[in-house]
Chains A and B, each alone.
Chain A
């Protein structure tokens, strides 16, 4: 029946558009080295080509160091979306694993995981990540993935634990237990497929949360370090010219907004598709 959830999603125009935007952004990120018109770090003429407004030569204009903004946005997508996707995968996997463990094993394991979630969920994520980054100094993108991903598993763990506990009471799981199925088998064959749509929602929401998080970190100078471009640090480079060079703000902000908005729409439509599933039968 999960199959029809996906089919319903494909029938949904808003979901298709949102998916298309995310797909296009991902494709642009992957193909950036080939489709970017210029080298994103090249400073051809820091005097003459400084802060040039959008033109055919530089569709998104140039930044204070005469670098081509379009090329930086495209290459920035590699870093920003790459970090976001990695962090999303890490947080959803970690959340699913810990939530599943808590529900299936129960007892003190459940107590520890649930307690941890309750304590950590009260902490503001951005501040915690900023504090950690500030402690360790500047970080490579890999460390960003680990930090952002490692701090984002809480809600997923909660959802998975609640769903698992619900399904563990259901008769099809009882029937599997009566057949002698191990907890591992029940988790893998019955429970994980059951929560797959909810995991997809959690993943889309995680994506929507981590893209601005990376941008924010990079904007305050704690994230991706120049000359490597990311959507956040393009904005940082333009921070002093907000009134004079609008293109330095518009394009990276638009990139963040479009991807985050699409991820949110996708999460929402997926929820609708799942609800349709449950009411459909």
Chain B
């Protein structure tokens, strides 16, 4: 397995009220092609900032991000456009992440338009295919985001990300806002898409229970650093770091 993503000593800092706050404070992480790397930690541990810095949605202060061999922080012009096609994101709150004024078809088509991937008629056919691939209907293209349930909206967000045919998806708490049944369905969909398209996932979550079924490996983040990274079964069986132990202990234990 070759690493698709290599993060080294990454620092992301914000201007906070009490001076500069390091949300990500020297994080290093490798994600192999085709795997699902879970990134877990409490809120405030820096996992969302790390995900966004990897995608260059927020600037990094120092350190490096290499994607498919290319230095992401140094990308510009066509190379940056290519990276935008290769790496996509799905956010936690699908209502906030979909423009409420745009029809679903236009939302999904935006990436196709931006990268001129298909002429107009063709683009609409592609949108219809994408909607069906994520379990919606082609007719749904005409509707507005608020007409859908939370799970369906998340499917729309996934279709939008897939429209540019990426290799890599950052799933930032993508199922956290969904109820348990819908969460299961969306996780199943993500697994199916991964198998069909050979996708690589960085799956950000605060809940270890969620990642147990789908992660190949789990990276645990605390105070801006990756404090532990292990294959999922190993981490569940023998968590080494205090952070991982706390997260594991927090899973509601049901006496079956």
Seen from chain A, the residues whose Cβ lies within 8 Å of a Cβ on chain B are 1-2, 170-172, 174-182, 185, 189-190, 193-194, 281
Contact = CB atoms under 8 A, between A and B. Distances in A.
B110 A171 contact: no
Nearest to B94: A171
Interface stretch (B12-20, B95-103, B215-223): B95-103
Interface in B97-115: 97-102, 110-111, 114-115
Contact of B157 (A175, A181, A182, A190): A175
A179 B84 contact: yes
B137 interface: no
Given A2-B101, A174-B52, A179 B57 contact: no
A185 to B, nearest CB: 7
A171 B97 contact: yes
Contacts of B52: 174
Contact of A174 (B80, B89, B115): B89
A30 B146 CA distance: 41
Contact of A1 (B80, B85, B100): B100
B55 interface: yes
7 contacts: A171-B92, A171-B93, A172-B96, A179-B114, A185-B114, A189-B102, A193-B99
A269 to B, nearest CB: 21
Nearest to B96: A171
B89 A178 contact: yes
9 nearest A-B residue pairs (beta carbon): A180-B84, A171-B97, A179-B111, A171-B91, A1-B100, A171-B96, A172-B99, A178-B89, A193-B101
A136 B102 CA distance: 48
Given A171-B91, A174-B91, A178-B84, A1 B97 contact: no
B160 interface: yes
A172 B102 CA distance: 11
B146 A281 contact: yes
* Chain A at the B interface: SS class: helix
Interface residues of B, number: 31
Contacts of A175: 89, 91, 97-98, 157, 160-161
Contacts of A1: 100-101, 144, 146
A281 B160 CA distance: 23
A179 B110 contact: yes
B211 interface: no
B123 interface: no
Contacts of A177: 57
A175 B106 CA distance: 14
Nearest to A194: B101
B98 A172 contact: yes
Contacts, number: 69
B97 A172 contact: yes
Contacts of B88: 178-179
Given A2-B101, A180-B115, A193-B101, A174 B57 contact: yes
B81 interface: yes
A83 to B, nearest CB: 33
Nearest to A2: B101
Contacts of B89: 174-175, 178
A239 B157 CA distance: 65
Nearest to B85: A180
Contacts of B96: 170-172
A181 B97 contact: no
Contacts of B97: 170-172, 174-175
Contacts of B87: 178
Given A171-B97, A172-B97, A190-B99, A178 B55 contact: yes
A214 B100 CA distance: 39
Contacts of A281: 95, 146
A176 B164 CA distance: 12
Contact of A179 (B92, B102, B160): B160
Contacts of B144: 1
A102 B110 CA distance: 25
B110 A176 contact: yes
A1 B110 CA distance: 19
Contacts of B157: 175
| Most A CB within 10 A of own CB, among B55, B87, B93, B97 | B97
Contacts of A190: 99, 102
Contacts of A172: 96-100
A176 B102 CA distance: 12
A176 B111 CA distance: 8
A229 to B, nearest CB: 43
Nearest to A277: B100
Contacts of A170: 96-97
Contacts of A2: 101
B146 A180 contact: no
Contacts of A194: 99, 101
Contacts of A185: 114
Contacts of B91: 171, 174-175
B111 to A, nearest CB: 4
